[in-house]
Chain A
Amino acid sequence: MSLLTPTIRPSVVARLNPVAKLAVALIVSCALLLSIDWVSAGVALLLEAGLLLWCGLSARQFLLRTAPVWIAAPMAAVTTVLYGEDSGALLWQFGFISVTEGSTQLGLAIGLRVLAIGLPGIVLLATTDPTDLADGLAQVLRLPARFVLGGLAGLRLVGMFIEDWHSLTLARRARGVGDGGGPRGAARRFFGPAFSLLVISVRRGSKLATAMEARGFGSDEPRTWARPSRVRAADAVLVGIGFAIAGIAIGVAVWAETWSFILA
């Protein structure tokens, strides 16, 4: 219901196990990190586009959530074109800046790669409820419950930042320190609550820890899970698709002889 705990609309993707979604994002990212070339990134992006079409996000939501990537990709591309390692014919030169065939190709590769790595991560996680993710991490991946649930509690506390900010500004207004003081006052009004927010969250965290212990949390005894997190056939298919995208992207790049292994 906030920035960090979005309302999830029911959809095919929303019903998949969060761990499977994480796995797919991880597989594709890792594969693309191994090489900088426009073919592997482009192919992966094309294949992903097919998946993202039925992710269950409305067009508006999709654009809102993925806006950072759409801004970042062209920026990264242009930066590389201008300053990237030069090779091939010189196309344009201005002082430090030189644009060559090689740097143009690199720029394209970088732009596509930012998109191909960024989009699936955001979209898959935008369709995942944090509580379900925690369930998956603890039950499927068997991460320690103390940490998974402690982390989830922390996430929820910070998710209430906006609400807390609201009540903090109300309180400051009621206490007579809500305005005035010119620009210095304005700065204090921003940094004052910003720091108070951190203070309040740490305090809330300390108290919430007590509340959690008061309900039997924190021992090493085994605990049960009210919400089962199961890996179904559909999840296996999704992971398979992830491997397929990674494999095809690398395969095509090797075949097209654009593949350049990064550590080589």
Chain B
Amino acid sequence: MHATTTSLNQSIRPASTAKKPRNFRWRVVDIVVASVIGVASGVIFWAWGLAWSPLSAILAFTPGLEGLLAGGWLFAGVLGGLIIRKPGAAVYTEVVAAVVSMLIGTQWGFSTLIWGVVEGLGAEIILALFLYTNWRLGVALLAGAGAGAAVGFLDTTFTSYAALDFGYKAVYFVSAVVSGTVLAGLLSWLAVRGLARTGALSRFAAGREGSRAPSAAIS
């Protein structure tokens, strides 16, 4: 019995490991799961928005460091990009998250959507620069930084921070980038690893990379 299973495996394995052309079309499962991640992140965005007011009031004593809080709104895009691995995933997930937080109700109203688009683009551009083929930690961190830079630019140009001195703005911008790198880049990368380990991502390349090792161990 065991022998037959192994021989079956051997005859089949090559087909699965053969290099397939990358398919960039979104499957239905890509869309739904990206939406699920987006919506769940949106709820966190909203909660983060509530916590933001008191936190930023505290950080306001340290000029410009409020930017450190921006990362709480940036992880969705990186997370979606890392899981779905298709062009547009980062923008889509971030926008869905922004819209959902807006649906529940944020003080930024409709501008949340605009912010979501630009933040998503910030991460997306980095993933695109790597041609959607590299999903290592470094790229995740860079994507987070990209989203941070995007929000740093938006906040210091179009919000109440636009009224602040240049020094404030510079500090704000840098802390937004740092925040994006850590909260969006690092945390998302860790979350994808955790999700993959539970087997929940079995229909995604992101989930199978991690699970290949144990399955090989059994055979």
Quick check: do A and B touch in the complex, using CB within 8 A? yes
Residues of A at under 8 Å CB distance from B? 3-4, 25-26, 28-30, 33, 36, 65-69, 71-73, 75-76, 78-80, 82-85, 96, 106, 110, 114, 117-122, 125-126, 130, 146-147, 150-155, 157-158, 161, 195, 197-206, 208-210, 212-213, 217-218, 262-263
For chain B, the count of residues having a C-beta within 8 Å of the partner chain is 58
Query: Is B56 close to A, CB under 8 A?
Result: yes
Q: Once bound together, how far apart are the Cα atoms of A205 and B26, in whole Å?
A: 14
Known A4-B39, A154-B96; contact A146-B31, beta-carbon cutoff 8 A: yes
- Find chain B residues with CB under 8 A from A209 CB: 27-29, 31-33
- Find chain A residues with CB under 8 A from B138 CB: none
Q: Once bound together, how far apart are the Cα atoms of A217 and B28, in whole Å?
A: 8
Please give the distance in Å from A9's CB to the nearest CB on chain B.
17
Residues of B at under 8 Å CB distance from A? 26-29, 31-40, 42-43, 46, 49-50, 53-54, 56-57, 60-61, 63, 92, 96, 100, 102-114, 157-158, 160, 162-165, 168, 191, 194-195, 198, 200-203
- Find chain A residues with CB under 8 A from B31 CB: 146-147, 150-151, 209
Please give the distance in Å from A190's CB to the nearest CB on chain B.
14
- Central interface residue in A71, A106, A150, A153, by most chain B CB within 10 Å: A150
B35 in complex: contacting residue of A28, A79, A153, CB < 8 Å: A153
Known A68-B105, A79-B57; contact A29-B110, beta-carbon cutoff 8 A: yes
Contact B36 A157 (CB under 8 A): yes
- Find chain B residues with CB under 8 A from A212 CB: 28, 32
3 closest A-B pairs by CB = A154-B35, A150-B31, A72-B107
Secondary structure of the A side of the interface? helix
Q: Once bound together, how far apart are the Cα atoms of A36 and B164, in whole Å?
A: 12
- Find chain A residues with CB under 8 A from B43 CB: 3-4, 158, 161
Please give the distance in Å from B22's CB to the nearest CB on chain A.
20
B163 in complex: contacting residue of A36, A71, A125, A263, CB < 8 Å: A36
Contact A79 B33 (CB under 8 A): no
Q: Once bound together, how far apart are the Cα atoms of A161 and B39, in whole Å?
A: 11
- Find chain B residues with CB under 8 A from A153 CB: 32, 35
Secondary structure of the B side of the interface? helix
- Find chain A residues with CB under 8 A from B100 CB: 4, 155, 158
Please give the distance in Å from B26's CB to the nearest CB on chain A.
7
Please give the distance in Å from B67's CB to the nearest CB on chain A.
14
Please give the distance in Å from A58's CB to the nearest CB on chain B.
16
Known A4-B103, A199-B198; contact A147-B92, beta-carbon cutoff 8 A: yes
Q: Once bound together, how far apart are the Cα atoms of A125 and B114, in whole Å?
A: 17
Q: Once bound together, how far apart are the Cα atoms of A73 and B38, in whole Å?
A: 27
Please give the distance in Å from A82's CB to the nearest CB on chain B.
7
Q: Once bound together, how far apart are the Cα atoms of A201 and B110, in whole Å?
A: 27
7 A/B residue pairs, CB under 8 Å, sorted by A: A4-B100, A29-B110, A33-B111, A118-B109, A146-B28, A206-B200, A262-B157
A84 in complex: contacting residue of B54, B104, B112, B160, CB < 8 Å: B160
Contact B53 A118 (CB under 8 A): no
Which residue of B has the minimal Cβ distance to A152?
B35
Q: Once bound together, how far apart are the Cα atoms of A4 and B105, in whole Å?
A: 11
Contact A117 B164 (CB under 8 A): no
- Central interface residue in B104, B114, B202, by most chain A CB within 10 Å: B104
Contact A205 B162 (CB under 8 A): no
Please give the distance in Å from A257's CB to the nearest CB on chain B.
18
Contact A72 B53 (CB under 8 A): yes
Contact B40 A198 (CB under 8 A): yes
Known A150-B35, A155-B100, A158-B39; contact A262-B109, beta-carbon cutoff 8 A: no
Please give the distance in Å from A132's CB to the nearest CB on chain B.
13
Which residue of B has the minimal Cβ distance to A106?
B163
With A29-B109, A122-B106 known, 19 other A-B pairs at CB within 8 A are A33-B158, A68-B107, A72-B107, A75-B56, A84-B163, A85-B164, A106-B160, A121-B109, A125-B105, A126-B105, A150-B35, A151-B38, A151-B96, A157-B36, A158-B100, A198-B191, A209-B29, A217-B28, A218-B28
